[in-house]
Amino acid sequence: MTDVQAAPALTTITVRNPADGSTAGSVPIDSPDVVATKARALRDAQPEWEGLGADGRKAWLLTMQDWILDNAEHLADVLQSETGKPRTDAAMEPPLTADLLGYWARHAGGFLADRHPAAHSPLMKVKRLTTVYHPFPVVGVIIPWNFPLLNIALDGIAALAAGAAMLLKPSEVTPLSAVEFARGWNEIGAPPVLALTTGYGDTGAAVIANSDCVHFTGSTATGRKVAVACAERLIPCTLELGGKDPAIVLADADLDRAAAGITWGGMFNAGQVCVSIERVYVEAPVYDEFVGKLTAEVSKLRQGQDDDRYRVDVGAMATAAQLDIVTRHVDEAVASGAHVTTGGHATGVGTFFEPTVLADAAQSMTCMREETFGPTLPVVKVADEDEAIRLANDSVYGLSATVWTGDLARGERVARRLEAGAVNINDALSNGFNFGLPMAGWKHSGIGLRQGGADGILKYCRPQAITAPRIPTQKREMLWFPYSRRKARIAAGVIRAAAARGWRRVGMRPRR
């Protein structure tokens, strides 16, 4: 009888282009021991990086910005090879990455500067108050597959600018862009405070186990696991998770702009964006007209495998599993009474799914309640603004939303009633391109934020409070030992005088 031998453990990941199944490259699978070794090296190098100060780090970040722009075409090639994106979508990631490098390089110094808060009481004016920000030594950054290059910049550059070292773990589906980013960091001769680690779930768990702070971008289900793992280690984490972003089209909206904007907001990157428009609520008087315009816009989209000629609008789904989710959502919607006005099927080639509009959708459908992350736009008719807001808020997610109206004051009023971390009026995705604004998820869409000016970099820091005397000190403060009735009454009286309202309360004495 022949002995049965166990299959050898995989040591590499083969990366394939989802558009045609061709091999794009491969990366090693790092064991937990390898991750720990990389983290120790980062920890050794980090103090010198922090010691450069914001200006010293700025020089390296701007040099990396130059490298990104000099290699933009090659980076777009790599992005397309592992994602199946259209050339336009791939070509946008390098300049946006460069833009973020420049933003954090130029603003980090001001954001990280010592702060001197005013004393809350006249009694405290005898102290000079200072808040100092120290970076966490090693920040673990775990990114998803939808923007393999840009997500490094969205989530990791601020950590480097803060003075932390970054332990970067890309998705196993699309690791090649991160390989290129790490190569660039090494090529410019930057300090060894960026380490790339590739692999599956065990590798990601090792990143958490060896980091002092973690940022995770990805699904809500995995985000929960990350949060639990960080809680067990008592380290902070920020989570940028799933979304089910609503669009509200009011009767006074410019319907042509709304149809064009919602088409882009829902179909950009084949709908594989955390802030994609995934459900649309339209006031009844303009519902039929809007559905017609939306259908016309979506039906014109060009889909396929793109080259460098910019001839395609919508590319492939990143994974077969994602294609299955989109197919299920569309099939279940149709079975429940929705009508496909354009699209509705997988193409049968690679992982492509046709850009799809689902008219007469209902709030109970899975395409309205679960995150789809694909090229679908289900549309619901509503009676009025109040119903649109109620249904938009009827979700476990709260990442972003859009409002389309001819009355900006009305748009802002509606925006303030929506349960979402960001609301764009008469536009889609625009908050994500304004780095001074926070990208924060409400409900199951996340914890903490990315970007957001000073908040986006200080999340990677530990605040330290320092007090120092402003006036010459005595040998003992009044409240130091030994206690006595006289000292207690004097101290309490002074504090009451500073805090109380009205002479009667100032003059009250403590009980004997």
List the catalytic residues.
240
Nearest-5° Cα angle at 448, 443 to 451:
120
| Residues in Cβ contact with 170 at an 8 Å cutoff, skipping those fewer than 6 apart | 143, 145, 148, 152, 177, 178, 196, 198
| Residues in Cβ contact with 21 at an 8 Å cutoff, skipping those fewer than 6 apart | 350
> At 225, which amino acid appears?
K
CA-CA-CA-CA dihedral for 393, 399, 405, 406, to nearest 10: 140
| Residues in Cβ contact with 493 at an 8 Å cutoff, skipping those fewer than 6 apart | none
Pairing of strands 400-404, 138-142: unpaired
Distances in Å between the alpha carbon of 271 and those of 201, 229, 254, 405? Answer: 25, 30, 23, 23
E strands within 294-453?
339-342, 356-359, 376-382, 397-398, 400-404, 422-425, 438-440, 442-443, 446-447, 449-451
Residues 334 and 385: their CA atoms lie apart, in Å, by: 26
Residue 194 has phi, psi (to 5 degrees) of: -125, 120
Residues 146 and 149: their CA atoms lie apart, in Å, by: 9
Strand partners, 169: 142
By three-state DSSP, how is residue 474 classified? coil
Residue owning tokens 């380490």: 195
Residues 257 and 426: beta-carbon distance below 8 Å: yes
Residues 448 and 285: beta-carbon distance below 8 Å: no
Residue 203 tokens, joined? 């590798």
The residue among 305, 272, 13 whose CA lies nearest residue 147 is 272
Residues 178 and 185: beta-carbon distance below 8 Å: no
Concatenated DSSP letters for 5-47? PPPPPP-EEEEE-TTT--EEEEEE---HHHHHHHHHHHHHHHH
